[in-house]
Structure 1
Amino acid sequence: MLPSRSRCPFASVGLLALVTALLAPAPTVEAGEKRAFTIEDLYRVVYVPEFALSPDGRWIAYVKRERDLPRGKQYEDIWLLPASGGEPRRLTHSPERSESSLAWSPDGRFLAFVAEKEEKDQIWLLPMEGGEPYTVTDIATGAEDLLFSPDGRSIAFTSEVYPECGADDACNREIDEKREKGPLKAHVADRLFYRHWTRWWDGKVPHVLVLDLETRQVRDLTPERSGPPQFYLWSPRSYAFSPDGRRFAFQQNPGPPEELAWSTNDDLFVVPLSGDAPARDITADNPAYDGTPRFSPDGSLIAYRRQRQPGYESDEYELAVRAVDGGEERILTAHFDNWVDDFAWFPDGEALLFLAEEHGATPLYRVPLNGGPLEKIVEHATIDSFAIAPDGKTVYAVRRAIAEPPEIWAYDLTGGSPRRLTFHNAKLEREVDIRPAERLWLPGAGDYQVECFLIKPHDFDPSRKYPLILNVHGGPQSQWADAFRGDWQVYPGAGYIVAFPNPTGSTGYGQAFTAAISRDWGGRVYRDVMRVADSLEKLPYVDKDRMGAMGWSYGGYMMNWLLGHTTRFKAIATMMGLFDLRSFYGATEELWFPEWDLGGRPWDSPLYERFNPARFADRMQTPTLVITGELDYRVPYTQGLQLFTALQRRGVPSRLIVFPEAGHWPGWYEMALYYTAHLDWFHRWLGGGGPPWSVEDFAANRVFDTETGKRIDRAGSEEAPPSER
């Protein structure tokens, strides 16, 4: 029995009476008639951040993300699509809130999701046979990452609670209200890991809670957790119900809270939901990471991702299985030399499907449980997420490529051709020149090649010479993938060639190549970048006197390193980059990262000084754009301030942009200023196309009228937009 309903101002209907949103066909436009890609076009792109396949495999519920740049609004509503193909239909229309964390009930009668109510994210249920969504929680600490129990009677979720309160909502609410409404605001910490990414913990810890849908009672499944969990970018869910609903698996660091800032040791715990026994650590034999548990269909095994090296967040992620009740661990990908990012069991339990990072792509591999050979069964540029049909014959996926915005596709594993199921970006694709990439293999610093994506500008003419922007990725242990991104289209649309190399430290080219960057930050990878630049400037259509460079995070560090070691680039843009490694160590939060990659702590490792960009500030002379965010606790924004101070005192042309509400990644609207600033900077120093409006106007909210959505007429101002200069 479901609880009484708390109604909400969503416009919604069930499967029997859905509001149909027709995808009106756009006039056909010949390729040669397509216009150049602009910043405004980027904000016309529709994204699919998540989807969920119904238990019977007939329906795909997904979140459709749309953005309105002129009004500064983002909309995330739930849509429904027949898995066999057809018109998608909107299930919710809520302009003032977004929906996320979709989860079907096992019988398919309800779709659970998370949406805000009274400033807190709550759990909602949408009846799929008709009716409006309604809330089933009203908790002070909010909810996210939903998972139905196999019997459909409860939902597991995560919430940031005070350990002394756990699932006691009144206790959590009282502490929160006193902190929020009291006259004093202060942070107090007695150990490290007191803040993370963009937030201060202030005594809170993420716990896994479970909601009983009949009684609305909430209980804490992880009451022993007293410190923040590890956070790995884009990690799959960290907990799972057993198929019979009797047990629950979750991951957490078993070490003392005071060591969490420098430990990567997550373990897997299994706890009976009856509550008659404590949680049992089933991977205590591995001192490194074990996470993302998934029970086999028969419930006898748990599959999970694991690493071998303690303290090393970029060690290879392997796929392993072991018996739930004990037994020897088996590594299923022992002979696969790249990372496993996500995985799922095939319904028959005889094999698993995993998503890998490989040569600038993310293919899907099938691995037999009995240890047979791997089989690559879905290969496309980038697969963002996937689900296996109940009969095991079809895989549904959100996919994209450099010249292909994200859409949902179906892959027939019996041999049929892939089918595109959504066409939200079709009109944009017909109107705008979304540039493809070429893959180049260029000499690196040793006896190896560096893969590099090269995107040529709109209306490319091989007889001309163009300015080039070289973009170094962050991580540093990550990869530029063949994936649709703003940087890959906005700059070519303005007349620039852009190059995205995967130098030493990149993933997807074997773990040895990834590991080679550690403790050599300014060494081999710097030489790779310079060798790539050597090759690029020899291309007949590249103007070697108009080459610029940009990078984010570690890419920003590399820009700061380039500033002190070369003048070959005529302009540099550095975002959220490390400038002084000693002060970075003292203010960042995940200490396992610098302690591994820089060989220890500043007082016992010489690498903090050896590879410190600040040490070479007296050599810096390239015009530099510096961008940072005040809420960036990974690379604190003072790193950018220090760099800007050094450049200004040396008389180097430079500009500083600080986002007060941005963390390590600016928000979607802040990114419009990011692109504007880059186009302005490279236009100024490389001579390519400029932005459609000035940096000053966009930063001062003088470009769009947020009420009407129209451009503000600046003709009477002292400075006209760059396009009119």
Structure 2
Amino acid sequence: MTDSAPSSAEQPPGTPPPSPFHRLADFVALPRLGGLALSPDGTRLITSVATLDPEGRKWQSALWEVDPAGLRPARRLTRGAAGESAPVFTPDGDVLFTTARPDPAAGKDGDEPTPALWCLPAEGGEARMVLQRAPGISAVAVATGSGGVAVVAATVPGAADAAADEERRKARKDAGVSAILHEGYPVRYWDHDLGPAVPHVYWAGALPAEPEPGASAAAPEWRDLTPDAGPPLGAGEDIALSPDGRFLARGEDVPDGTAGRRSRLVLTEVATGRTQVLVDDPEADVFAARFSPDSTQVVCVRESKSTFAAPPDFTLLVVDLASSTPRDITAGFDRWPSAPQFSADGTAVYFLADDDGRHALFRVTLDGGAPVRLTADGAYSDLQVARDGSALYALRSGYDTPPVPVRLDPQATGQDPVPLPNPGTITHLPGTLSELQATAADGTRIQSWLVLPEGASAEQPAPLLLWIHGGPLMSWNSWSWRWTPWVLAARGYAVLLPNPALSQGFGQEFVQRGWGEWGGAPYTDLMAAVDAAEALPEIDRTRTAAMGGSFGGYMANWVATQTDRFRAIVTHASLWHLDSFSGTTDSAYYWEREFGDPLTEPKRYEQNSPHRYADAIRTPVLVIHGDKDYRVPIGEGLRLWYDLQKRGVPSKFLYFPDENHWVLTPGNAAVWYETVIAFLAEHVLGEDWQRPGLV
């Protein structure tokens, strides 16, 4: 066979690259859109765009305005050195956003700024700070009718007000105390320690108008709506205000057994602080509440608790505030709805759900009709509903496009909207995207996405990279800057993105096929997908590799112990010793529901833990792990690395002391891709090992 893969080296300096994916410096510099906000009159659409800062050491966000009609080019609104994000409109059309800009009134001797709430006036002019609290503001909600504002800020237990909070923080700092005393589980979350401060929700009321020159600004209310919020998770950030400003709805974390947690839905009357429980289901988590336009109902997500026998299931509940009676509006819908919002007239609910390798937009009426899918291809997020009912707006992504803003019809089906003018559109990809079908051993259909590099043909077949998704309860359906197949396609690889058992969007039974048996159907489904890809004339089946992160890293490890068909394995943030992982991860109770107590029900741990089959590994392995990863703690990567080394397996360990489950800084992201490319080039393409220059 002819070796068609180009060299893995970067394009020479000064050479115009065929696409931004051919040079890692160009790739990490691409603009990245996130978040969306629609003005009350529907004439303005705001998004946050992250680009490299002048030093190229971090991504820095700014607010951009997009024309909802698609006629005018997008324009940049903010240029703060600290970056701006989380835009939301007030009823008057002002734009609120969070930023860690220094307060102009603080002077040079002010403390290091933390995220505060700023306001960009509708009529234009300079932004001004409107709400600040020493530890920073982490979330904001606006009553779309009254204009009242609620914010989330971390507060030390026992501090009655901001002054007391600051005094307690200062006392810890002055005494050199960093210790945290825990009296409940959990103690960590993703990449940070919990406590001693926990989130509280504060009512700020109507934001003060900009004062006249020389006058002092009016003080906000800063009334704590969650005074009883305590460790470990506090009041959380899952909050919503009713349009009339009378009520705050939020998911409240409560104990579930001796070391578990679950979420229930509570409603707080803003004026009095009186709180009542709306939905408290001992067998489910309830969250993501949103109010109806008339403030009389909320819609929320109910996620049933997984058990040893069955995975979770999701549905949408509509709750009448007067009676506190929940009603299931997606009963019998064999997909997992999320991010619900009422229609403009309150007669229907829009929601998102994974469906057959897409993340689609659905509409369901409140009169008992079945959900209707409105979009064709693509993955949608950040849905915005125009108040006059004329349109919907969202960010659309897919493996053919990063997130870009689009306009949608509120009722039409089969939509595939054209992007609105924006700074994040990519005009050229180094290959083609197609859908691939395979059949598992039990006859189940396995859906995959396949990226073929430019030039791949029967005469010049491309090497194949199997890329396994994480989760495991997710699916390949949307653009990811961390897992971008086009970087590998630009170097000549075909990239296979399969959705095996445990993937969502294919029905409850499809998830059940792999429940508690990660090494069973998920593995054989992956191999069936690889078989289907390798049968294509454009694929060189003699040069294949496999890689994955998180659960995908677990599967990459499992693949390494079960077969020698791949020339190389790349495993990122991966599970290696299931018993050890289940007790040290940040939410151990979640995984124990599926696998059982390892002391009394060890079978699933023993059957599915890759470490027990370490002696079978013959394939070269690249291990990647971040020290700040609390979801899959660093001990998993360290033990995997030692087990490979002592067995003489050709292996390398790319270690990030200051990264978490992901790799979030531009320099480290570039090194991540550079190391993966070099490792694959050595073992798949037969090139000499080229150690990345900065590691």
TM-score, normalized by the shorter chain, greater than 0.5:
yes
Aligned counterpart, 1:697: 693
Q: Relative to structure 1, is the Cα distance of residues 309 and 441 closer, same or farther in structure 2, using a 3 angstrom cutoff?
A: same
Aligned counterpart, 1:216: 220
CA contact (8 A) 1:585 1:602 kept: no
Query: Does the alignment pair 1:73 with 2:66?
Result: no
Choose 105-114 or 446-455, whichever is displaced more.
105-114
- Give distance in 1, aligned partners of 2:681 and 2:55: 24
Query: Does the alignment pair 1:247 with 2:247?
Result: yes
Structure 2 SS opposite 1:625: strand
AA in 2 matched with 1:677:
T
- Give distance in 2, aligned partners of 1:165 and 1:231: 15
Query: Does the alignment pair 1:389 with 2:386?
Result: yes
Per-residue CA shift, 1:175-212, capped at 9, x if unaligned?
33344454454444333211111111132222222223
Aligned counterpart, 1:301: 297
Per-residue CA shift, 1:259-317, capped at 9, x if unaligned?
4x523x3111111112263x111112453111111121122211111123366996222
Q: Relative to structure 1, is the Cα distance of residues 476 and 690 closer, same or farther in structure 2, using a 3 angstrom cutoff?
A: farther
Aligned counterpart, 1:17: none
Identity, in percent, stands at 30
The Cα shift of 1:393 comes to 2.0
Query: Does the alignment pair 1:196 with 2:195?
Result: no
Aligned counterpart, 2:488: 491
Per-residue CA shift, 1:112-168, capped at 9, x if unaligned?
4344443411111111212211112331221122112345553212222223226x2
> Which of 22, 45, 48 is residue 63 of structure 1 equivalent to?
48
> Which of 417, 440, 443 is residue 447 of structure 1 equivalent to?
443
Per-residue CA shift, 1:59-88, capped at 9, x if unaligned?
011111113697223221111233223122
Structure 1 SS opposite 2:312: coil
CA contact (8 A) 2:89 2:95 kept: yes
Structure 1 SS opposite 2:431: coil
- Give distance in 1, aligned partners of 2:131 and 2:55: 35
Structure 2 SS opposite 1:170: helix
Aligned counterpart, 2:612: 615
Aligned counterpart, 1:457: 453
Aligned counterpart, 2:132: 138
The Cα shift of 1:351 comes to 0.7
CA contact (8 A) 2:626 2:659 kept: yes
- Give distance in 1, aligned partners of 2:86 and 2:473: 28
Per-residue CA shift, 1:338-367, capped at 9, x if unaligned?
111212111111111111110111111111
AA in 1 matched with 2:228:
E
The Cα shift of 1:513 comes to 1.1
- Give distance in 1, aligned partners of 2:57 and 2:635: 28
Aligned counterpart, 1:93: 79
CA contact (8 A) 2:146 2:244 kept: no
Query: Does the alignment pair 1:418 with 2:412?
Result: no
Aligned counterpart, 2:467: 471
Per-residue CA shift, 1:679-721, capped at 9, x if unaligned?
0110000008899xx553133xxxxxxxxxxxxxxxxxxxxxx
Structure 1 SS opposite 2:546: strand
Per-residue CA shift, 1:463-510, capped at 9, x if unaligned?
222211101111011100153655210001001111011000000000
Structure 1 SS opposite 2:271: coil
- Give distance in 1, aligned partners of 2:561 and 2:19: 42
Aligned counterpart, 1:173: 166
- Give distance in 2, aligned partners of 1:600 and 1:470: 33
- Give distance in 2, aligned partners of 1:116 and 1:627: 34
- Give distance in 2, aligned partners of 1:336 and 1:662: 39
Structure 1 SS opposite 2:254: coil
Per-residue CA shift, 1:221-261, capped at 9, x if unaligned?
122222344999xxxx72222232222211112337x84x5
Query: Does the alignment pair 1:339 with 2:336?
Result: yes
- Give distance in 1, aligned partners of 2:48 and 2:688: 34
CA contact (8 A) 2:94 2:119 kept: no
Matches within 5 A, 1:120-135: 120-135=114-129
Structure 2 SS opposite 1:424: coil
Structure 2 SS opposite 1:171: helix
Query: Does the alignment pair 1:640 with 2:637?
Result: yes
Choose 296-305 or 432-441, whichever is displaced more.
432-441
> Which of 357, 360, 375 is residue 372 of structure 2 equivalent to?
375
- Give distance in 2, aligned partners of 1:548 and 1:643: 19
Q: Relative to structure 1, is the Cα distance of residues 254 and 475 closer, same or farther in structure 2, using a 3 angstrom cutoff?
A: same
Per-residue CA shift, 1:384-416, capped at 9, x if unaligned?
222111221211111122122322111234769
AA in 2 matched with 1:239:
I
Task: Please list every run of 5 or more consecutive structure 1 residues that lacks an aligned counterpart in the other structure.
Answer: 1-31, 700-725
AA in 2 matched with 1:87:
P
- Give distance in 2, aligned partners of 1:54 and 1:159: 25
- Give distance in 2, aligned partners of 1:689 and 1:219: 64
Q: Relative to structure 1, is the Cα distance of residues 657 and 267 closer, same or farther in structure 2, using a 3 angstrom cutoff?
A: same
Choose 212-221 or 367-376, whichever is displaced more.
212-221
AA in 2 matched with 1:147:
A
Structure 1 SS opposite 2:453: coil
AA in 1 matched with 2:595:
L
Structure 2 SS opposite 1:362: strand
Aligned counterpart, 2:363: 366
CA contact (8 A) 1:401 1:483 kept: yes
Structure 1 SS opposite 2:229: coil
AA in 2 matched with 1:632:
D
Q: Relative to structure 1, is the Cα distance of residues 385 and 602 closer, same or farther in structure 2, using a 3 angstrom cutoff?
A: farther
- Give distance in 2, aligned partners of 1:338 and 1:505: 13
- Give distance in 1, aligned partners of 2:416 and 2:188: 48
AA in 2 matched with 1:458:
E
Structure 2 SS opposite 1:61: strand
The Cα shift of 1:419 comes to 4.1
- Give distance in 1, aligned partners of 2:284 and 2:416: 41
Choose 473-482 or 483-492, whichever is displaced more.
483-492
Structure 1 SS opposite 2:511: helix
The Cα shift of 1:43 comes to 2.0
- Give distance in 1, aligned partners of 2:94 and 2:87: 13
Q: Relative to structure 1, is the Cα distance of residues 151 and 296 closer, same or farther in structure 2, using a 3 angstrom cutoff?
A: closer
CA contact (8 A) 1:466 1:496 kept: yes
Structure 2 SS opposite 1:357: strand
CA contact (8 A) 1:467 1:542 kept: yes
AA in 1 matched with 2:196:
G
Query: Does the alignment pair 1:437 with 2:422?
Result: no
CA contact (8 A) 2:448 2:496 kept: yes
Query: Does the alignment pair 1:156 with 2:144?
Result: no
- Give distance in 2, aligned partners of 1:220 and 1:601: 42
> Which of 553, 557, 562 is residue 554 of structure 2 equivalent to?
557
Q: Relative to structure 1, is the Cα distance of residues 68 and 218 closer, same or farther in structure 2, using a 3 angstrom cutoff?
A: closer
- Give distance in 2, aligned partners of 1:141 and 1:184: 17
> Which of 656, 671, 674 is residue 673 of structure 1 equivalent to?
671
The Cα shift of 1:535 comes to 2.6
CA contact (8 A) 1:308 1:315 kept: yes
- Give distance in 1, aligned partners of 2:56 and 2:627: 24
CA contact (8 A) 1:46 1:406 kept: no
Q: Relative to structure 1, is the Cα distance of residues 134 and 70 closer, same or farther in structure 2, using a 3 angstrom cutoff?
A: closer
- Give distance in 2, aligned partners of 1:160 and 1:35: 40
Q: Relative to structure 1, is the Cα distance of residues 325 and 310 closer, same or farther in structure 2, using a 3 angstrom cutoff?
A: farther
Aligned counterpart, 1:29: none
Q: Relative to structure 1, is the Cα distance of residues 689 and 230 closer, same or farther in structure 2, using a 3 angstrom cutoff?
A: farther
Choose 656-665 or 532-541, whichever is displaced more.
532-541
> What's the RMSD between the two structures over aligned residues?
2.6
CA contact (8 A) 1:37 1:433 kept: no
